[in-house]
Structure 1
Amino acid sequence: MLIENLTDITIFIRVVATGSLSAAARELDLSLAVVSKRLARLEERLGVRLANRTTRRFSLTDEGLEFHERCVRIVADLEEAQDLVASRRRAATGLLRVTATAAFARRHIAPRLPRFHAQYPDVRVQVLVTDTVVDLVEAGIDVAIRQAALPDSTLMVRWLAPNYRIPCAAPGYIAQHGEPATPQDLLHHHCIVMGDPPMSTWRFDCREALGEPVAVEIRPLIQTNDGEVGHAAALAGSGIVLKSIWDICDDLATGRLKGLLPQYHSPAPAIQAVYPAGRHAAAKLRAFLDFLSAELKADPCWGVANRPARDTVTA
């Protein structure tokens, strides 16, 4: 059913957000009677009851829950479209707060900041390094660069670059222990497992169209909850590590590490920008995301070794 007047939907969203009709009426500077009438008119138009309510209590029905979720997305999309057009006239200025993991910030954000500031000298960038998922709204952060979308459905997501993992080792380790020919051969090698809990099951997709996915339960020689420690151990020749291509592309290019099992790749979540709805209108954020997206797409990093057949590999 086409709903021509979005005002009723906006009122409905605010009632849900504030938790009562009276609170929404105060926030919207409307009378309680108007809010109640608008909500009743919306229900009549839809032919369903959206909520059980009094002036003090408001609880959504199952239909109301589903309708509210969709309305939030629709209104956010409309606001984004409107703000995007309007923001074209605004200059990129002010403080931009970005969060990313330590490894990604060090390898792919910090080295690019001089080029970004050459284009946008009036944007100040604050990079907040953390490996934990933070509440972006509560922390006042404009955007998070992550290798997976955050679970909060109210957040906006922009795909930036593909990602995949490859097994790799230092030349010294390979000279001493040789290379695995198949994923199952990893069971006979010194392996380094990372994560908390540790990612001890290594999964591989075959580059051949008819090849079957393979899962190997690794018996690690070294186990760590820190990716940088595992990275350093592999560089030192301690064993084989499974790392994201963005994390080791420089090591592969310089020969400090060598990619193994070239006929396989391991799927990994794509690199994405995640930001609160409403922040997208800021010219500074749009400028940063456009810049970073173009930089990552032009980076030869993803073509160094074992590139999968498709460019978009997700978990």
Structure 2
Amino acid sequence: MADSLTDMIVFARVVAAGSLSAAARELNLSLTVASRRLARLEARLGVRLLNRTTRSLALTEEGAMFHARVVRILADIDEAELEATRSKSIAAGLLRITSTVNFSRLHLAPLLAEFQAMHPGLRISLHASDTVVDIVEGGFDLAIRFGALADSSLIAQRIAPDARIICASPAYLDRRGRPQSVEDLITHDCISFGDPPAGEWAFADGSSARLSGALVTNTGEVAHEWALQSAGLVLKSAWFVRDDIKAGRLETVLPHLPLPASPIHAVYPHSRHLAARVRLCVDFLAERLEEAWQTG
């Protein structure tokens, strides 16, 4: 077991350092020993982890998946050692988080910087993507997601409210008219986004509208910009459009027809002992996001 752990440490350091020789120097090992440990690890796993040339190295597909797990294992070991001697109110080690691009930029980035400053022993890696990733396979500790959780093998904790709003610029609505019913949406340019893009908008009363429009994108940020440019209607989380509505840049459409609730959840794998860095981060985000919702 000890040798296996050392081999994983060497592998992780090689990836971080970018070369076998640099990793060997950092670990105070000879190049021969470091190379032998990496080869032994690949032999034990029965797969090649790195494609190596005289000038460069790159993770194989299997190597990338294994590396994500190794990083988490080593971070858990670091935290276990710290927790043995320090308070459980202190977060330490590596915390890997994933969320959507726009929410990461506007809301998570400043909050996570604040959280890291409160816990100097913590390192945070934020993966921003509008594609929903497999957090277990991707080696993530935590995902911040909108709406219901489809995968019951994960734990979802509600951390903030949300409301979805159909909106458009006043200029667009002056030009095309203000919809009065779900049926009216058929005649409007509805901006679709997502990965894959949404094909319809469903309302809380069970009604729905198929989307028709010339503009489709994989990111909500682009869809938001198109709406501001008077290109059509868009369905967005209140977290992204409240300021524009208050300022008059966007106008709510069909406010009398509620859309299904889509609260924000912290999603993480089942764990008998949730790492302190995850537990403390979830609690911190829940507190700060609730404050932001109430004052927004």
Task: Give the structure-2-normalised TM-score.
Answer: 0.63
Residue 116 of structure 1 aligns with an amino acid whose one-letter code is: F
Q: Which has the larger radius of gyration?
A: 1
Q: Identify unmatched segments of 5+ residues in structure 2.
A: 1-79
State the 1:118 CA deviation.
4.4
Counting only pairs closer than 5 Å after superposition, residues 132-143 of structure 1 correspond to structure 2 as 132-143=131-142
Partner of 2:63: none
Deviations 1:29-87 (A, max 9, x none): xxxxxxxxxxxxxxxxxxxxxxxxxxxxxxxxxxxxxxxxxxxxxxxxxxxxxx9xx99
Percent identity over the alignment is 44
| 1:280 to 1:166, Cα distance in 2 relative to 1, 3 A | farther
Partner of 1:263: 256
Partner of 2:119: 120
| 1:195 to 1:283, Cα distance in 2 relative to 1, 3 A | closer
Q: Distance in 2 between matches of 1:92 and 1:139?
A: 21
Residue 119 of structure 2 aligns with an amino acid whose one-letter code is: Y
Counting only pairs closer than 5 Å after superposition, residues 194-213 of structure 1 correspond to structure 2 as 194-205=193-204, 212-213=205-206
Deviations 1:70-124 (A, max 9, x none): xxxxxxxxxxxxx9xx999422222211111111211220122343234334322
CA contact (8 A) 1:149 1:274 kept: no
Partner of 1:25: none
Residue 172 of structure 1 aligns with an amino acid whose one-letter code is: A
Q: Distance in 1 between matches of 2:225 and 2:273?
A: 37
Report the 3-state secondary structure (helix = DSSP H, G, I; strand = E; otherwise coil) of the residue aligned with 1:237: coil
Q: Identify unmatched segments of 5+ residues in structure 1.
A: 1-82, 206-211, 305-315
| 1:134 to 1:216, Cα distance in 2 relative to 1, 3 A | closer
Partner of 1:96: 95
CA contact (8 A) 1:198 1:224 kept: yes
Deviations 1:266-313 (A, max 9, x none): 215431111122286222111110111111212237x97xxxxxxxxx
CA contact (8 A) 1:195 1:224 kept: yes
| 1:236 to 1:196, Cα distance in 2 relative to 1, 3 A | same
Partner of 1:299: 292
State the 1:244 CA deviation.
1.9
Paired residue total: 213
CA contact (8 A) 2:172 2:231 kept: yes
Task: Give the structure-1-normalised TM-score.
Answer: 0.59
Partner of 2:154: 155
Cα RMSD (Å) of the superposition? 2.8
Residue 260 of structure 2 aligns with an amino acid whose one-letter code is: P
